[in-house]
Amino acid sequence: MTTRRNFLRNSLLSSTALLPGILKKGADQLSYGFKTTEAYKPLFVSTWNYGINANTRAWEVLQKTGSILDAVEEGVKVSEADPASRTVGIYGYPDREGIVTLDASIMKGDGDCGSVCFVRQVKHPVTLARKVMEKTPHVMLAGEGARQFAIAEGMPMEEEVLHPESRKAYEKWLKEAEYRPVINIENHDTIGMIGVDQNGTMAGTCTTSGLAYKMHGRVGDSPIIGAGLYVDNEVGAATATGMGETIIKICGSFLVVELMRQGRSPQEACEEAISRLIKKNEENIEDMQAGFIAINKEGEYGGYAVHPGFNFIIHHAGGSKNIDAKSHFNTSR
């Protein structure tokens, strides 16, 4: 019988045979070697180095409006509108039917939150998520319902034409992949941004076009509050990137925040959450990248990933810095 796990497993295009020694370190052999000593307020942290312009924008908006919520929304809108992004927004890679579907979420430190998933033709799903939070009694709208809500809110609908580079990649995938969703560590990336102002008020956003060539209807962690994003003014904030299925299984961002509540630094909390994620996904972990970033209300930060290659941007009054995250496994792919 084909189990879901085998189905996904059989879809892998990369071979684990090429990765000698990658699993040498056991999931419970983790040692916390790195404690954040720096603390900044205000502070923005976002996933991946393409977040540099997003963070700069967030900083500008915070200076101008004083609103940490406006700042994290406007920040990630830079990535959503970037025609060069293949993993965030409408210019991203499509699903296996050739359709781009988007997931996004937004959360305030007081618990208010909103999200949209499996939505089409919306240039700024993060703004739509904010409208769900502020203008409806709900937290999450999906698919056609989310699109109709966007239209009702006067948001323009984008034409559904693949970006030429996404089309080229999709056509190549159609020829080579026999219509199987590709589950590996390369075909995805999300921008998640978390920020704290000088008073310790926090907010976060997370937005993505999700896994490339996913099954139509697949939703990742990014729009799921507690998985892709969680913010609590009493403690801190966390957001995630990487294989959404692995992150959902451990309620990843909520877990990171709860670990900080128990006294872990942001760095320790990210490391422990990655350890938990590895334990729950051990069978396929060679091919699954995932990473967390976190801040606490003091303005300390941290970030950690399963595999090397993950980086994040911090932005504070002293400027921006790209940080290569440490990872559980050390073998580069």
Any idea which residues carry the catalytic annotation?
A: 190
The residues in 221-240 that bind ligand ASP, with binding defined as CB under 6 A, are 221-222
The residue (of 40 and 170) whose beta carbon lies closer to ligand ASP is 170
Closest CB 55 distance from ligand ASP, rounded Å: 17
The residue (of 201 and 222) whose beta carbon lies closer to ligand ASP is 222
Binding residue count for ligand ASP, defined by CB under 6 A = 13
Q: How many CA atoms lie within 13 A of 201 on its CB side?
A: 13
| Cβ proximity of 275 and 252 under 8 Å | no
The residues in 169-188 that bind ligand ASP, with binding defined as CB under 6 A, are 188
- CA–CA dist 164, 64 (Å, integer): 36
| Cβ proximity of 271 and 329 under 8 Å | no
The residue (of 236 and 242) whose beta carbon lies closer to ligand ASP is 242
| 210 forms part of the interface with ligand ASP (CB under 6 A) | yes
| 220 forms part of the interface with ligand ASP (CB under 6 A) | yes
| Cβ proximity of 312 and 323 under 8 Å | yes
What stretch of H or E contains 10? Answer: helix 4-10
| 125 forms part of the interface with ligand ASP (CB under 6 A) | no
DSSP secondary structure string for all residues of 100-135: --EEEEEEETTS-EEEEEEE-SBS-HHHHHHHHHHH
| 244 forms part of the interface with ligand ASP (CB under 6 A) | yes
Q: Classify 18 in phi/psi space as left (phi over 0), alpha (psi -120 to 50) or beta.
A: alpha
| 287 forms part of the interface with ligand ASP (CB under 6 A) | no
Closest CB 331 distance from ligand ASP, rounded Å: 20
* AA identity, residue 168: K
The residue (of 58 and 206) whose beta carbon lies closer to ligand ASP is 206
SS3 call for 298: coil
Binding mask 296-325 for ligand ASP (x = CB under 6 A): ------------------------------
Footprint on this chain of ligand ASP (rule: CB under 6 A) = 188-190, 208, 210-211, 220-222, 241-244
